[in-house]
Amino acid sequence: MEIEELIQSTDIVEYISQYVELTQKGDEWWGLSCFKSENTPSFSVRKDPPFFYDYSSGIGGNLYRFIMETKHCTPAEAVEEMVRFSGMDAESVKPREKMAATIDCKRYMRKKPTEKSSKATVLPDNFMERYSANSEKLSAWEAEGISKEALEKFQVRYDEFSDRLVYPIRNLSGQIVNIGGRTLDPEWKKKELRKYCYFYSWGTMDTIYGLAENMDSILEKKEIILFEGCKSVLIASSWGIHNTGALLTSHLNANQMKILARLGCRVVFALDKEIDIRKDKNIQKLKQFVNVETVFDAENLLAEKDAPVDKGIDVFRNVYMGRKKLR
């Protein structure tokens, strides 16, 4: 039996309920974290697809990952636990099949992008309908300069159970491959919550946020402006600047480099000021395929940790117009 079949056939909610008292809220089940002490439920489980995510610790994944994290067992023991719980006859699982399942389990633990991308989560097209369009909650980002039009274009919604603004992350085909969340809890540091998180685990990211939504503008201008975070893409869109994307991290990985190389457009990096892109090996490799530039703050208008959009459109235009070709 393939590990994917075993994971899909085992009821993740029923299994985790043995260890966490879960309460159903819509399409999700919520309970207190089993990884950290807390008073407010931040542990979420979904059946479709079968994944869990613990907001307090940042641990998430499929049932196999849950068993490994809670029982601290070997891959083979995790397989045996799923077989036991699913009610299968252990004797009916041939040694060869057990070995294949164990190898598959180990594959889930690796970080190689080629193996992770082949197992990528693809969520239903209507997945965002489970979240709320609560205007009062969405106004938190409107207050930071993001327009209603941008919030709607990028399908920003509110998840009442985790108290987070949520947004879909799409692959180049426009399919939803993950959900990002930004907490609205003002005491997130005190409670040791993550300000930003992803609802589903993934290895090396193989997409660029906003690329699917902004592709037409990027191709028209033959240029993509790359930010670090998703919020910068939304702010730029609110200003009418649509040829943008976000790495969702402070460096360019190999998968993203290949995407940009195939895109064939000029790439302008507009990462947070503290990031020195000259040290990024993948950005240096990218120069072999396309023109690479970086915004430049000649007048020192930005603070060390500022994103180029943080001080308003005039400052952004200033650092964009002062951009330099990467040597």
With beta carbons less than 8 A apart as the criterion, state whether 34 and 108 touch: no
pLDDT (0 to 100) of residue 96: 37
Chain segment 159-202, per-residue pLDDT in tens:
887 889 999 999 988 999 989 999 998 988 887 888 888 887 77
Q: Which CATH class is domain 3-109?
A: alpha beta
pLDDT (0 to 100) of residue 2: 58
pLDDT (0 to 100) of residue 42: 85
Q: Looking at 20-24, 25-29, 168-172, 200-204, which range is the least confident one?
A: 200-204
| Amino acid at site 251 | H
Query: What are the tokens at 246?
Result: 């976000």
Above pLDDT 90, what percent of the chain? 51
More confident residue, 26 or 290: 290
Q: How far is CA 8 from CA 50, 64, 228, 248, in A?
A: 7, 10, 35, 29
Query: What are the tokens at 12?
Result: 């993740």
Task: Report the run of H or E that residue 243 belongs to, with start and end.
Answer: none
Supply the pTM of this predicted model: 0.68
pLDDT (0 to 100) of residue 241: 98
pLDDT (0 to 100) of residue 1: 52
The DSSP bridge pattern shows strands 164-170 and 176-183 to be antiparallel
Q: CATH number of the domain at 127-198, please?
A: 3.90.980.10
How much of the chain is in helix, strand and coil states, percent to nearest 5?
40, 20, 45
* CATH 3.90.580.10 segments of the chain: 3-109
pLDDT tier, 38 (very low <50, low <70, confident <90, very high otherwise): confident
Cα separation, 29 vs 50, whole angstroms: 11
pLDDT (0 to 100) of residue 141: 95
pLDDT tier, 228 (very low <50, low <70, confident <90, very high otherwise): very high
* CATH 3.90.980.10 segments of the chain: 127-198
pLDDT (0 to 100) of residue 216: 95
pLDDT for residue 239 is more than 90: yes
Mean pLDDT of the chain: 85
Task: Report the run of H or E that residue 262 belongs to, with start and end.
Answer: helix 254-263
pLDDT (0 to 100) of residue 203: 66
pLDDT for residue 8 is more than 50: yes
Chain segment 199-223, per-residue pLDDT in tens:
877 767 889 999 999 999 999 999 9
pLDDT (0 to 100) of residue 117: 40
pLDDT for residue 10 is more than 80: yes
H-assigned helices in 87-153: 95-109, 113-118, 135-142, 148-153
Phi, psi for 244 (deg, rounded to 5): -130, 165
pLDDT (0 to 100) of residue 4: 67
* CATH 3.40.1360.10 segments of the chain: 211-325
Topology (CATH) of 211-325: Dna Topoisomerase Vi A Subunit; Chain: A, domain 2 (3.40.1360)
∠ CA 52-55-60, rounded to 5°: 35
Residue whose structure tokens are 């068993």: 67
* Among candidate residues 264, 233, 232, 227, the one with its CA nearest the CA of residue 247: 227
